[in-house]
Amino acid sequence: MAEETKKFMYINRKAPYGTIYAWEALEVVLIGAAFEQDVSVAFMDDGVYQLAKGQDTSGIGMKNFSPTYAALGDFEITKIYVEKESLEERGLTLDDLQHLVWEDEDEDWAEKDSIRLVSRAELGDVLAGQDVLFNF
C-alpha cells in the first residue's frame, strides 16, 4: 500500500448527535490516519457545528465524542479546513470552536494551529486538488 500516496479529504457537512454521521465519519478519519496518506478534513454547512466548544451530552445519554477532534493533531492530521460562509450564516466565529493544534516535529515540536479558515471559493480550490473525497 505504500507504493502511492493519495490526497484524502474527509468532508463533514452534518451536525453532531442529531444523526450519527459526524461520529462515524470521525471513526473513519482515525482509522484512515494509519494508512499514511496525505489527509485533510473539511467542515462546512452544518458540519461546522461538530467543532463547537463546550459540548455536554450527559442530558441525552449519548457519548460526547467532541474531545476526539483535539487528538487529530496526534494522528498527524493537521490540515483542518473550516468554511467561513457556513460559520457566518450560523452566527459563529472561530472562538466558538475548539482550538485545534498540532506539534511540528521539524520546528522543535512548536505548537501550530490546525484550523484553516477558508472561504467557499478557497475550499472549492482545496477540494479540486484532492484525489479522493469521503462523504458521510
Partner 1 sequence: MKLTIQVNEGPYQHQSADSAYYFAKAALEKGHEIYRIFFYHDGVNNGTRLTTPPQDDRNIVARWSELAEQHDLDMVLCVAAAQRRGIVDDGEAERNGKDATNIAPGFRISGLGQLIEGGVQSDRLVVFGD
Partner 2 sequence: MSMLHLVNKSPYESNNLSTASSIMKGGDELLLIEDGVYGAVKAGKASAMLEGCTVSVMGPDLAARGISEDKLADGINVIDYNGFVELVEKNDKVQSWL
Q: Strands across the sheet with 79-83, in order?
A: 115-118, 79-83, 38-43, 7-12, 132-135
Pair type for strands 101-104 and 7-12: unpaired
- Judged by beta carbon, residue 56 or residue 105, the one nearer partner 2 is 56
Q: Shortest Cβ distance from residue 36 to partner 1 (Å)?
A: 9
**Residue 2 interacts with partner 2 (CB under 8 A): yes or no:** no
Residues lying near partner 1 in the complex (CB under 8 A) are found at 1, 4, 6, 8, 17-21, 24, 27-28, 31-32, 34-35, 37, 60-63, 132-136
Q: CA 25 → CA 20, 109, 117, distances in Å?
A: 8, 28, 21
**From 27-35, 67-75, 107-115, 128-136, span contacting partner 2 (CB under 8 A):** 128-136
Report yes or no: 51 and 19 within 8 Å, Cβ to Cβ: no
What is the rounded end-to-end Cα distance, in angstroms, of the chain?
A: 24
Q: What does the binding site for partner 2 look like in residue numbers (CB under 8 A)?
A: 11, 13-19, 44-46, 49, 52-60, 62, 64, 66, 89-92, 96, 120-121, 123-125, 127-133, 135-136
